[in-house]
Amino acid sequence: MMKKQIKKTKKLNDNEQYQKDFLQPTGFVSKNGKSVYISEEFHRYISRIVFVIGDGKVTITDYLYNVLKLHFQEFGEEIKTLYNEKDKPIL
């Protein structure tokens, strides 16, 4: 009888999980998107995060894409519910 092999997966610590979730290249090209304005303070923080932690392999666009992607995954149902509550027909 053959034993079924169980693939062991390493559990990521919080720092590794953060890098996996947010500091990955997306392939999204910012010129194909729309301009968005953020505060100078946030721009400074994000620039430092992607440059230092992202090792120069991640852009601000990648970071913001990943942050928003996770936000919509985490809160998608709540967003849909709130949207549907506001978007009621007149009659």
The answer to whether residue 85 sits within a structural domain is yes
| Domains contained in the chain, number | 1
Asked whether the whole model's pTM tops 0.75, one would answer no
Nearest-CA neighbor of 50 among 68, 40, 64? Answer: 64
User: Domain residues for 69?
Assistant: 58-90
Residue 74 lies in a domain: yes
Question: Is residue 35 a part of any domain in this protein?
Answer: no
Note whether residue 63 is domain-resident. Answer: yes
Residue 8 lies in a domain: no
pLDDT the model gives residue 91: 57
Backbone angles phi, psi at 43, to 5 degrees: -60, -45
Higher-pLDDT residue of 12, 8: 12
Residue 2 lies in a domain: no
Q: Is residue 68 part of a domain?
A: yes
